[in-house]
């Protein structure tokens, strides 16, 4: 918990953790009480092999946290799958809210697009790269997976900066 003022609960997406809010929380804390938490199985939360990490469970956990923190009508902000979690907590677990904020929300089916499913079928492992057609598809997928489209050069530089599994990036400069 950070700051004082109206309550704001930040819910991260996957694969991520509450640390993703490290630059946002201090700014919000200037005028709000900010709560961050790790979805089950992520960050510093409990995790084990047979753990239920479904939206149902995440929504119930968030509802329980809001109750435990004694928040009357917090603003709930969720990124990626976190947006689906906050919607579920509000709409189905009946968590009263002052505001809902959805950032790049994964809230409408299909969550995994047909194109992503096709790429998964075509790529049993990253070792099969480089395949020029698949490389182009990956770049295009990454470029379109953000609010503002990223340029090919930026995507390629990002992939190279992180490192390509199995060796140097096959993406063009």
What are the sequence ranges of the domains in the chain? 7-103, 114-162
Return all residues near 101 (Cβ < 8 A) that are at least 6 apart.
Answer: 75, 76, 77, 78
Instruction: Say what the pLDDT of residue 158 is.
Output: 54
What is the helix (H) or strand (E) element at residue 76, kind and residue range?
Answer: strand 75-79
pTM of the model: 0.66
Fold of 7-103: Rossmann fold (3.40.50)
- Return the number of other C-beta atoms located less than 10 Å from residue 68's C-beta: 8
Closest CA to 138 of 153, 116, 167: 116
- Counting every residue written for the chain, the total comes to 173
97-112 residue pLDDT tens: 999 999 888 776 666 6
Question: Any idea which residue has 């201090």 for tokens?
Answer: 26
Question: Any idea which residue has 């956990």 for tokens?
Answer: 61
8-45 residue pLDDT tens: 999 998 888 999 999 999 999 999 999 999 999 888 88
């Amino acid at each position: 918990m950070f700051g004082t003022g109206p309550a704001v609960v930040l819910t991260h997406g996957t694969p991520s953790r509450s640390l993703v809010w490290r630059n946002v929380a201090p700014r919000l804390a200037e005028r709000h009480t900010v709560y961050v938490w790790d979805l089950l199985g992520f960050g510093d939360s409990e995790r084990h092999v047979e753990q239920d990490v479904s939206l149902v469970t995440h929504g119930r956990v968030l509802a329980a946290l809001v109750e435990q923190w004694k928040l009357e009508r917090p603003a709930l902000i969720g990124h990626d799958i976190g947006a689906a979690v906050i919607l579920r907590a509000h709409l189905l677990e009946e968590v009263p809210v002052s505001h809902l904020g959805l950032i790049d929300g994964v809230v409408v089916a299909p969550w995994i697009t047909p194109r992503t499913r096709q790429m998964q079928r075509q790529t049993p492992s990253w070792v099969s790269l480089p395949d020029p057609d698949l490389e182009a598809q990956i770049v295009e997928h990454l470029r379109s997976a953000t609010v503002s489209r990223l340029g090919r050069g930026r995507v390629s530089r990002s992939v190279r900066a992180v490192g390509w599994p199995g060796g140097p990036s096959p993406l063009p400069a």
